[in-house]
Amino acid sequence: MTEGASAPSYPMSSRNRVKRRHDRGFYDHATVHRILDASMLCHVSYVIDGQPYCTPTFFWREGTRLYWHGS
């Protein structure tokens, strides 16, 4: 990598920005992918008709695309 060039990273927004301990937040692909690849369980949360739900499920990554298993 040339000087001044940065590693690919995911865009930061108010929705995904680390709210506490900003110094511990990383958005570069290598770090995010390493964290994702270290696990296979995730929790997917959503709201239907005002009722919140959280479903534990499996996930995997292929490149920059994230998949999760649902039934």
Token pair listed for 47: 């709201």
**pLDDT for residue 52:** 97
pLDDT digits (tens, 9 = 90+) for 29-62: 999 999 999 999 999 999 999 999 999 999 999 9
What distance in Å separates the CA atoms of residue 4 and residue 1, rounded to the nearest whole number?
Answer: 9
Q: Is 54 helix (H, G, I), strand (E, B) or coil?
A: strand
**pLDDT for residue 22:** 87
pTM of the model: 0.71
pLDDT band at residue 71 using 50, 70 and 90 as cut-offs: low
